[in-house]
């Protein structure tokens, strides 16, 4: 629609993964409306569920443990596999990757059967973020100072930095835990003092709008 301006944000690593989006006097024709009027949040929630399923299940089918395999190769190259502590940590990562793959296989099977994604998609999303953090810590431990130098063209340090996004993009880990607790496990919702306030009266930072 006229008035929509998208400006890529150039990051320090040379990438452009995010954009600034400006809406100036934008008017969307009614025939472009998706769903019922004033039901935008419901559609946004559905979109987020699909997004979390996509993030949590990965792009490939079957049982996957690519991160563990990669770290094993790195450890062999540096003669680190003799460490029983490292082998145990690698086994933990392997087990987590396999479990996430199995969850992904189940989720994909449900989608193929026509089932709409539900809050269970947060399980795979949260598992993926945990796996990414474990992979980051293990990789830096195995590679050592070379990870923050320029070994392998800085690939290890770049991967270590980008893993933080796993716990933020698509909903933070804290949000996923709340969804799992409330909508999967049926636990009581966290207290909310502004639940019944209209949007115009919600607290913004430390001030009221």
User: Catalytic positions, please?
Assistant: 51
DSSP SS3 for 117: coil
- Residue 38: which region, alpha, beta or left (left: phi > 0; alpha: psi -120 to 50)? left
Strand partners, 203: 208
199 closest CA partner among 27, 38, 26, 23: 38
Compute the distance between CA of residue 153 and CA of residue 139 in angstroms, rounded to an integer: 15
Cα angle: 33, vertex 34, 40; to 5 degrees: 100
């Amino acid at each position: 629609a006229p008035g929509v301006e998208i400006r890529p944000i150039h990051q320090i690593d040379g990438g452009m993964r995010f954009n600034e989006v400006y809406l100036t006097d934008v008017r969307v024709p009614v025939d472009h409306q998706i769903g019922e009027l004033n039901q935008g949040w419901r559609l946004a929630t559905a979109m987020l569920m699909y997004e979390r399923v996509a993030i949590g299940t990965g792009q490939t089918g079957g049982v996957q443990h690519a991160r563990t395999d990669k770290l094993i190769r790195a450890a062999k190259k540096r003669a680190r596999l003799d460490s029983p502590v490292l082998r145990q940590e690698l086994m933990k990562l392997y087990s987590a990757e396999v479990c996430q793959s199995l969850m992904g296989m189940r989720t994909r099977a449900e989608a193929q059967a026509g089932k709409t994604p539900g809050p269970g998609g947060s399980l795979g999303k949260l598992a993926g973020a945990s796996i990414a953090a474990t992979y980051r810590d293990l990789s830096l431990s195995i590679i050592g100072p070379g990870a923050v130098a320029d070994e392998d063209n800085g690939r290890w340090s770049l991967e270590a930095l980008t893993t933080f996004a796993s716990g933020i993009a698509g909903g933070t880990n804290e949000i996923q835990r709340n969804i799992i607790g409330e909508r999967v496990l049926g636990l009581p919702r966290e207290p909310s003092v502004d639940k019944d306030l209209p949007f115009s009266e919600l607290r913004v930072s430390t001030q009221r709008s």
